[in-house]
Chain A
Amino acid sequence: MKLPKLLPYYLRFILMMLLVFYQSNAFSQENITPISGRIISEDGEPLPGVNILVTGTTIGTITDTDGNYEIGVPEGYSTITVSYVGYLSQVIDIKGKTVIDITMEPEISELEEIVVVGYSEQKKETLTGSISQIKGKDLVLSPQPNVSNSLAGRFSGLIANNRAGEPGYDDSHYYIRGLATTGNNDVLVVVDGIPEQLGGLNRLNPNDIQSVSILKDASAAIYGSRSANGVILITTKKGAQGKPTIDYSFNIGLSSPTRLPKMADAETFATIQNEIAYYRNPNGGMNQFYDEEEIQMFADGSDPINYPNTDWAEATLKKSSLQHQHNLSVNGGTEKIKYFVSIGKLFQDGIYKNGATKYDQYSFRSNINSQVTTNLDVSLMLSGRQEERKFPAYSAGHIFRSIYRAYPTVIDKYLNGYPSTGVEGDNPVVMVTDIGGTNKNPKSVFNGILKARYNIPFLKGLSIDGFFGVDKNWNFTKAFSIPYSLYSYNSNNDTYNESIFGGSAGAPKLYEWHENESLVTANYKLNFVRQLGEHNINAFIGYEQSKNTKETFDATRLNYPTAETPELSQGGPADPDILNSGSSFLYTRRSYLGRLAYNYKEKYLVEVQLRIDGSSTFPRGNRYGTFPGFSAGWRISEENWMESLSFINDLKIRVSYGQLGNDNVDQFQYFNNYTFNSEYIIGGERYTGIDISKMGNAGITWETAEKTDFGLNALLFNMISLEAIYFQQKRSDILAERNASIPTVSGIVNRYENPGETNPKPIVPSENIGKVDSKGFEATLGVRKYYGDFWYNVSGNMTFAKNKIVFVDEPPLPDSLAHQMETGGPLNTYLLYNVIGIFRTDADLENYIHLPNAQLGDLIYEDYDGDGEITEGDKVRSKYGNIPELTYGFNINAGWKIIDLSVLLAGQSRVSQYVLSESGTIGNFYSSWADNRWSPSNPDGTYPRVDTRASSSINGGQFQNNFWLNDASFLRVKNVALGVTIPKNLTTKLGISDLRFNINAFNLFTFTKVKDYDPEGDSESAQFYPQQKIISFGVNVQL
């Protein structure tokens, strides 16, 4: 147990006097060598009261208030032992020295760390579950203010991918231990005890976060039906007793795309157009589109209007864009009242030239705790946030699609400043601005939690507590699109033709959407926490319920007489019924939960927990599910017989097992759903028709995960910490929609959904049919060491998570197609033809089995099933999907005097991503393809010949193949933070207790084999707002 570092002065004085007295009495003989010096802490502070003992004797002394000591060492003794509570003892050789200054090295105290677990807290040493935790102070080292982007690489067991970087929409997707179900893999986020608190974790102010814990195993079972995919617990900062501390931090940074694909230039693209025409009509020759002279003009820029060479990305995007953050917090309190209050402001600019995209965020938090009576504690936690998003009228996806589609042979702006029509009226240079209107998408979040705790006086350890949380979330969109002019140049008569784009039919158009969501959560618990001799008991039973409601409506109005009145009331008068819509949503749950944790001498640890969850998603009778969790640990290092192995500071083995649930599916699937769809016209009017939108599954219920973990935790030599976990999970009753095994002749046919459709509605309901097993290994190894002024702390973690589909709905495939089965393989794989080369000669076409219409320059597909034809049976499942099996992180922290450095590396491997760019006559090519394409004049090209549309090409979308499957492995310097703390003696005069300057970087370098786009992207066309690299400068001031 750690004692307070600063003993009361009077105590220290008495101790010192006693020792001095003792010393003078015992050794007043001759041949004594006097030794003196100063003892300081790792951060240079003098340490008073440190024990100094001549090794092997009882001769000793302690340091004074300035850390100075003097001691006389009798002849024959060559070492002194220095010890102090909270620090490592040192044995120091005194040979030949009379002055010895010593820097004490702190004892690693992580065992004492308090870890937030579900509905409670635990000491790390008595944890029996697989739970990782990081502190908020590590998160603020990242200049990326989105919390979800600061998690990758920091824990074992968490897989996070930042798929795109648009300000306001740059959230990472994260999974705990990879994918484990064909259904929904979303992790449950609990903020200050509220499951699925509205507003989530992404946009919390990282400066307000005390800690982030992730529950990876059966320890999450206390969250019942939402826990199967793991749980992230966020705890915000609370006030501490003491004088008020005022913290202010500011940082300003520049962000730029991590990577943008390089596109073909005009000369190359013009040649490609000729090749495309040639393949369509070989008799026409190689110059059906442009003759050599014209291609030369694209190359030499002699006629920049008619033969331009436009780099659309350069024309549209800035080199870098600005962001800054301010944070101010006050923290303090008395014994009765403690408070933490903060405000934060964040600004991020988009990377567009003259762009409309801006993100502003304002947030506040007030966490106040009051001890009302000796036994009653009440706290009130209020927080709010305003997220101001502003975009141009066109989405980022549309803009980036246009940048990559737009032909280099088309000018962006004419010399007189007129913007061109770009690609079919999409000119990204104009689309990014507010000329075509804006799309404002603000969101307001309010979270309020009232907590109370009452210690029942008549039985020691018995208490009742509870909370009542109200969350509100207002989401609003106002999209006003305004007509604007683009021009095309007619070289025949030297005129510019004006065309009107944007708006609706040449007039402004307004669309508004509003969503009002609330979540009311109530919880109360009866707790019993008590130490009875060597038995420690920590138990509770509780009740929780929540009610989530959402109301949305939207409206559109057309034909605005002017662009100056973007209000719904100010548009055109003809306003049919159909231009508005609305919906509502109500979701309730009711839960009973309890836990019993017991340990004997903190050596034998056992924990049992249970949650009974009821959900309105399921019908009466299938509504309640029971989710138990069990875990046990044995701290071997606490055994007496381990004492001789003094280098083992801690050693614990543990096991956990639990059943967890997942209910993340649409409501009302237990009966046939019919919805209105008024798209059929009769008699000139839309008719209020009805469609069946979902067939009922009366038996729908939970998805269940059985999780088992074996873990080992150790601390060796007081510097090496180690955690190793083997885990396995059996997911069953997975809620999945049957599709493949139901023949369409039955009429049970799911309609096609766009890949981007947010709310897909297959007619087939979710059924509890799937089974997936997963297993893996997690390891964390850390080393921490102090050398005087220099210290370092290095840790590495890795997660290997592999899943195997045991049952997924598949058609009854014949044995000959066994290699295409999803069953038995991992989730999210691709089914692709295997490319074994490119047809380069007529001999190749003779020697290889090929498609009937194959020609030179086409990809050679392997006749995998050996039937002598290239057919569907030759497709092969890819080994990996686009969620990595292996992720790892390295965290390096070091300090020297006033300088500290923190480096975070994050990487992934065993992962694939399919990307086929939208190329052909529909859009430009990545230069990697354009420059290396096979063509009659480049028979050694490493890429296939170009085609009219990659998406319907024999080498592309028509025969999806693994030529376009990339190994998306990477190692990324995710974060670098370099700080300088100004010495206190300089700052205290200014009334500043702490002053620190820092330089931070995010996504600084990436090492990957992926050529054209950022390897974290998951868009199969790679048309997305790119991930950002940020370099920022900041200052922290503490008063």
Chain B
Amino acid sequence: MKFKYIYILPVVLLLRLLTGCDESFLDVAPTDRINDESLKSSAILFEGYVVNRYMSVRYTEKEAEGTPPGFGRGFEYAMWSSLTDESVYIHDDNSWIVQQGALAPNNTGIAGTLWARSYRSIRECNYALSIIDEVDMEDDYREILRAELKFIRAYRYHDLIRNYGKVVLLGDRVSNLNDDFSDPSLYKKSEISECINYVVNQLDEAAAALPVNSNSAWPLGRATKGAALTLKARMLLYAASPLYNVGTWKDAADAARDVMDMKKYQLYGDYGSLFLDENSNEIIFERLYSVGSNHVCMEIANGPNGYSGWAGNVPLQNLIDDYEVFVDPQTAVPFDTTNPAHVNNPYESRDPRFYATILYNGAEYRGRQVETFLPGGQDTKDGIDNWNTSFSGYYLRKFIDETLPIVNPWDVAGTQPWIYMRYAEILLNFAEARNEDTGPDAEVYAAINAIRDRAGMPDLPESLTKDEMREKICNERRIELAFEEHRFYDVRRWEIAMETENEPAYGMSITKINDTTFTYERIIALDGRRFEIQHYWLPIPLDEIQSSGGLLEQNPNY
């Protein structure tokens, strides 16, 4: 018997050896992530968390084609401009829902993402604010980061307010999984005035602590005092506008003047290249991109088909018509569709910003002239890849960098900065608010003429009435800020959307008679544009109403 035990002993020992028996066998620590304690334990890690709040999450397949989205929409295949009378996105991609008035809670198209992703970012900011005092760092720096978080949070609310109107203000609340989501306080919308007051107060607090200048210690891409004040000015301008009607034009003008008084920003010399120079002194707040962390490659996404581009967001005749025409170097007048001189030479002597914003028939682009004429034009259905030809006869020039390739751009392009706020907007905001507040005084003229001057346009005629000035300012804004995500909000806050957004989407059909003679015929680029009263605000997505158990109130008339 004893002999036989000897067999078992080594077997058992071997098995013990192979398997081990310590209790920690099942304790596995991750090597690719950290936890709350680590986040709080290091100022560097905490700051890493704060900085990424400038971005948020992708919420549908039709956004964040490159890196995660920032604020608003920015550079995407279908741009926000294609929900307005600035452009149409030729591949639809759920942008025509808005253009054709089919916007509904269950059918929000590309406009349905701002609600959810803004609130996600707000929660993340609130979480950071809730632990910031536990993080070991210099108190001064802590206040700067706190201000930065408040700025980001305020920007999210600004995104929400200008799209949805009344929204839910959460304060410093950090929701958790175990919360009671049937708690009505989570769904209580505040009046617009309250919402705007909250944002403005937050921005005041942020402006007080944020650095004035970007430098190596506070690099470009992070919010500055000017950014907070500019956003505040924009909010107050909205508040005073007819659709909101909860603020005063004086407050709006004063807020804009605060930025002007900083004397930090100035208009960049050249309108065209402004959008490619991230270091421009005109830019107040922007999102930077780089190779490997890029946005949609704008050159191929919006290029003419004759260059192997995909046309994408094609400018509408509606916008083209609003570029002024020079009569002589000192005089510019609105384009007149009944004036044969204008109609027969539509691309001559226009506002220089037209040439910087639009690719039109005859425009010099990449070594040849753009050809949108028929028959035979290379950038029409008679050219290559003709499924990608413009409906309108125009292509986008603004933002386009000619040094970047159209073909095979994937590892190279998509690097232009997206400008959230620039000084020209402040001047326009000021001019508009001041004109409404006090009428067209010298300050109004100065602000607006500064912009026109930079663009190469003559000053506005003197002695305009307040209403005439208003009209000029509105048009100036349309031209200067085209494709920069202002038009959508401007036509709403001015309550002119019923007019502008029910206008058909026009294009231009150009027929070549001979090398120098063309005839022009106005065509409809996209049929069925429609805007109804409910469309002044976006619908809250149906899913969200359902998740709230009906406690969240839908915007009116949806």
Chain A residues proximal to chain B, CB less than 8 Å: 273, 279-284, 289, 375-376, 407, 421, 424-425, 452, 454, 456-458, 464, 466, 468, 483, 488-490, 492, 497, 499-506, 509, 522, 524, 543, 545, 547, 558, 576, 578-579, 583-584, 586-590, 614-616, 620, 623, 667-668, 671-695, 697, 738, 740-749, 751-752, 754, 763-765, 767, 811-814, 817, 851-853, 871-872, 921-922, 948-949, 951-952, 954, 957-959
Once A746-B179, A749-B117, A871-B104 are accepted as A-B contacts, the answer to whether A407 and B387 lie under 8 Å apart by CB is yes
* Minimum CB–CB distance for B153 against chain A, Å: 11
Contacts of A959 in B (CB 8 A): 107
Please determine whether A871 and B26 come into contact, CB atoms closer than 8 angstroms. no
Contacts of A501 in B (CB 8 A): 407-408
The A-contacting residues of B in range 278-321, CB under 8 angstroms, are 278, 287-290, 292-293, 308, 310
Please tell me if the beta carbons of A281 and B525 are within 8 angstroms of each other in the complex.
yes
Which of these, A284, A492, A497, A746, contacts B123 with CB under 8 Å?
A746
- A686-B105 contact given A620-B27, A749-B119, CB 8 Å threshold: no
The residue on A at minimum CB distance from B36 is: A672
- Chain A residue numbers with a CB within 8 Å of B102 are 851-853, 954, 958
Supposing A745-B119, A748-B175, A754-B61 touch, asked if A690 and B39 sit within 8 A by C-beta, the answer is yes
Contacts of B25 in A (CB 8 A): 545, 547, 588, 590
A749 to B112, CA, bound (A): 14
- Report the minimal beta-carbon distance from A896 to chain B, rounded to whole angstroms: 54
- 18 A–B pairs (Cβ distance < 8 Å), ordered by A: A281-B391, A464-B11, A545-B19, A588-B26, A589-B26, A620-B27, A674-B34, A674-B38, A679-B67, A686-B292, A690-B34, A690-B52, A743-B547, A745-B168, A747-B120, A749-B120, A767-B177, A948-B91
Query: Is the Cβ of B45 less than 8 Å from the Cβ of A690?
Result: yes
Q: Is the CB of B124 within 8 A of A692?
A: yes
Docked-complex contact A749 and B59, CB < 8 angstroms:
yes
The answer to whether A424 touches B288 (Cβ under 8 A) is no
Give the docked Cα–Cα distance between A273 and B381 (Å).
11
Contact B28 A587 (CB under 8 A): yes
The answer to whether B19 touches A682 (Cβ under 8 A) is no
Q: A282-B527, A499-B308, A690-B49 are in contact. Are A745 and B101 (CB under 8 A)?
A: no
**B159 at the binding interface (Cβ < 8 Å):** no
Q: Give A958 to B98 CA distance when docked, in angstroms.
A: 12
- Which of B30, B310, B546 is within 8 Å of A813, CB to CB? B546
Inter-chain contact B58/A751, CB cutoff 8 Å: yes
Q: Are B221 and A683 in contact (CB under 8 A)?
A: yes
B31 interfacial by beta-carbon distance below 8 Å: yes
B 1-17 to A, binary, CB cutoff 8 A, 1 in contact else 0: 10010011001000100
- Check if A744 sits within 8 Å of B115, measured CB to CB: yes
Q: Tell me which residues across on chain B come within 8 A of A504, comparing CB atoms.
A: 410-412
Docked-complex contact B116 and A749, CB < 8 angstroms: yes
Task: List the 9 closest pairs (A to B, CB-CB), nearest first.
Answer: A747-B123, A683-B219, A689-B52, A872-B106, A751-B57, A744-B116, A746-B175, A682-B221, A811-B546
Is the Cβ of B48 less than 8 Å from the Cβ of A284? Answer: no
Extra contacts, 7 of them, besides A421-B384, A680-B51, A921-B388 (Cβ < 8 A), are: A283-B523, A289-B381, A424-B388, A688-B48, A744-B543, A812-B550, A958-B97
Given A281-B523, A751-B59, A853-B528, the answer on whether A680 and B52 have CB atoms closer than 8 Å is yes
Closest to A675 in B: B33
Q: Is the CB of A745 within 8 A of B67?
A: no
Bound form: Cα–Cα A114–B470 in Å: 92
The CA of A743 and the CA of B186, in the complex, are separated in Å by 9
Q: Which of these, B36, B101, B182, contacts A671 with CB under 8 Å?
A: B36
Residue contact B18 to A468, C-beta cutoff 8 Å = yes
Inter-subunit contact B33/A668 (CB<8 Å): yes
Point out the residue from A407, A499, A584, A689 that lies within 8 Å of B49, measured CB to CB: A689
Chain A nearest CB from B361 CB (Å) reads: 15
Task: Decide yes or no whether B554 CB sits under 8 A from chain A.
Answer: no
A489, A590, A752: which contacts B59 (Cβ < 8 A)?
A752
Which residues of A have CB within 8 Å of B124?
A: 692, 747
Q: Does B242 contact A (CB under 8 A)?
A: no
User: Which residues of A lie under 8 Å from residue B409 when comparing CB positions?
Assistant: 505
Contact present for B35 and A671 (CB under 8 Å): yes
Q: A684-B290, A687-B48 are in contact. Are A949 and B91 (CB under 8 A)?
A: yes
Q: Are A949 and B93 in contact (CB under 8 A)?
A: yes
A812 touching B546 by the CB < 8 A rule? Answer: yes
Chain A residues contacting B90 (CB-CB under 8 Å) are 921, 948
Q: Which residue from chain B places its CB closest to the CB of A405 in the assembled complex? A: B387
Interface membership of B68, Cβ < 8 A: yes
Query: Could you say which of A375, A522, A590, A675 contacts B32, with CB atoms under 8 Å apart?
Result: A675
B302 to chain A: closest CB distance in Å? 14
Determine whether B253 belongs to the interface, using a CB cutoff of 8 Å to chain A: no
Given A672-B36, A691-B52, A812-B546: A667 and B30 interface contact (C-beta under 8 Å): yes
**A683 in contact with B220 (CB, 8 Å):** yes
Asked whether, in the complex, the Cβ of B119 is within 8 Å of the Cβ of A744, the reply is yes
With both chains docked as a complex, state the minimum distance between the C-beta of B5 and any C-beta of chain A, in angstroms.
9
Residues in B with CB closer than 8 Å to A871 are 104, 106
Contact check, A752 vs B52: say whether CB atoms are below 8 A apart: no
Which chain B residues border A678 with CB–CB below 8 Å? 293
For B19, list chain A residues within 8 Å (CB): 522, 524, 543, 545
| Known A-B contacts A490-B378, A743-B552; A681 and B181 likewise in contact (beta carbons under 8 Å) | no
User: B55 contacts A752, CB within 8 Å?
Assistant: no
Chain A residues with CB under 8 Å of B117's CB are 749
Question: Which residues of chain B come closer than 8 Å to A587, judged between CB atoms?
Answer: 28
- CB-CB under 8 A from A957, the residues of chain B are 94
For A616, give its contact among B28, B116, B216, B378 (CB under 8 Å): B28
B526 in contact with A281 (CB, 8 Å): yes
Contacts of A671 in B (CB 8 A): 35-36
Query: Which A residue sits closest to B509, measured CB to CB?
Result: A284
Residues of the B chain whose Cβ atoms lie less than 8 Å from the Cβ of A623: 26
Task: Check B94–A952 contact: CB distance below 8 A.
Answer: yes
Residue of B36, B51, B407, B530 near A425 (CB, 8 A) is B407
Smallest beta-carbon distance B135→chain A, Å? 13
With a cutoff of 8 Å between Cβ atoms, the chain A residues found around residue B119 in the complex are 744-747, 749
Q: Is the CB of A682 within 8 A of B219?
A: yes
Tell me the smallest distance from the CB of B403 to a CB of chain A, in Å: 12
Q: A954 to B308, alpha carbons, bound, how many Å?
A: 29
The answer to whether B11 touches A452, judged by C-beta atoms less than 8 angstroms apart, is yes
Who on chain A is nearest to B417 by CB?
Answer: A681
Q: Are A742 and B181 in contact (CB under 8 A)?
A: yes
Within 8 A of A (CB), among B132-182: 168, 170, 174-177, 179, 181-182
**Which residue of chain A lies nearest to B34 when distances are taken between CB atoms in the complex?**
A674
Please indicate the chain A residues that have their CB under 8 angstroms from the CB of B127 in the complex: 692
Q: Which residues in A have their C-beta under 8 angstroms from that of B546?
A: 740, 811-813, 817
In chain B, residues 39-73, which have Cβ atoms closer than 8 Å to a Cβ of chain A?
39, 45, 48-49, 51-52, 54-55, 57-61, 67-68
Report the minimum CB–CB distance from B53 to chain A (whole Å): 9
Pairwise interchain contact A280-B526, C-beta atoms closer than 8 A: yes
Query: In the complex where A686-B290, A741-B181 touch, is A280 in contact with B15 (Cβ < 8 A)?
Result: no
From A289, which residue of chain B is reached at the shortest CB distance? B381
- Residues of B within 8 Å of A284, CB to CB, are 523-524
* B550: A residues at CB distance < 8 A: 812, 814
B385 at the interface (CB under 8 A from A): yes
Would you call B186 and A456 a contact (CB within 8 A)?
no
Residue in A522, A738, A754 whose Cβ sees the most chain B Cβ within 10 Å: A522
Whether A681 and B310, one on each chain, are in contact in the complex, defined by CB atoms closer than 8 angstroms, is: no
A421 lies within 8 A of B308 (CB): yes
A588 touching B220 in the complex, CB below 8 Å, given contacts A558-B411, A686-B292, A687-B48: no
Give the distance to chain A from B374, nearest Cβ to Cβ, in Å.
Answer: 11
**With A454-B7, A689-B52, A749-B116 as given contacts, are A872 and B542 in contact (CB-CB < 8 Å)?**
yes
CA distance A683 to B27 in the complex (A): 41
CB distance from B176 to the nearest CB of A (A): 8
- Asked if B452 is at the interface (CB within 8 A of a chain A CB), the reply is no
Q: Which residue of A lies closest to B167 (CB)?
A: A745
B381 contacts A746, CB within 8 Å?
A: no
* Cα–Cα, bound, A371→B156 (Å): 74
User: Complex Cα distance A428/B58, Å?
Assistant: 31
